[in-house]
Amino acid sequence: MVPTPKLALRDTPAQWLVRAHGVALLVALCLVPAQSWAWNPFETKSAFQESELSAGEWKQIEVKAGWAADADTTLLIEATNKLPGPLACHGALVNLQNGTEVKKSFSPYLYIPPGATRQAGVNGVKKGQMKGYTLSCNCWKKAGDARCVDPKKPG
């Protein structure tokens, strides 16, 4: 006797319906992980983006540099934020007179709230050897808006 396949043509419509539901359930269970990749319950959407400062915004940032009296190899950079929103400074680049550069990244970023002053140090810059320096900072802007804003304040 030859064994008959499970999905034989002589099955009743009710048996086909039960099997079809089982297959549909199996397919649905296989698709659940794929659908969950598109949604993350821990993801936060924000209307704000970290953006580079414009030339006009840089004019509202007061930046000074110098050395402490007791440390002539650590350049201190002081930044004062006069913008309506906070700043995130990522690092500093110091050009030396001999043509070399000293790069310093701030980890975590140097956060400067509105109206506040913060300092950061760059090691390896001996007093009298600096030619110039640059500070790299960003602020938060709403999409389509050119003004720096505070993303934590409503409105």
Which tens digits make up the pLDDT trace of 131-153? 999 999 999 998 888 888 988 88
CB count, 10 Å around CB of 131?
Answer: 12
83 falls within a domain: yes
93 falls within a domain: yes
111 falls within a domain: yes
136 falls within a domain: yes
- pTM value is 0.67
Domains: count for the chain: 1
Rounded to an integer, what distance in angstroms lies between the CA atom of residue 67 and that of residue 79?
14
77 falls within a domain: yes
149 falls within a domain: no
114 falls within a domain: yes
Polymer length in residues for the chain: 155
User: Over the stretch 85-132, which tens digit does the pLDDT of each residue have?
Assistant: 999 999 999 999 999 999 999 999 999 999 999 999 999 899 999 999
Residue 138: give the domain boundaries. Answer: 49-142
User: Over the stretch 7-34, which tens digit does the pLDDT of each residue have?
Assistant: 555 667 666 666 766 666 666 666 666 5
Q: Find the CATH number of the domain harbouring 105.
A: 2.60.40
Question: Own/partner pairs for 37-42, CB < 8 Å, 24+ apart?
Answer: none
Rounded to 5 degrees, what angle do the CA atoms 26, 31, 35 make? 155
155 falls within a domain: no
Rounded to an integer, what distance in angstroms lies between the CA atom of residue 29 and that of residue 20?
14
Residue 99: strand, helix, or coil = coil
* 129 touches 98 (CB < 8 A): yes
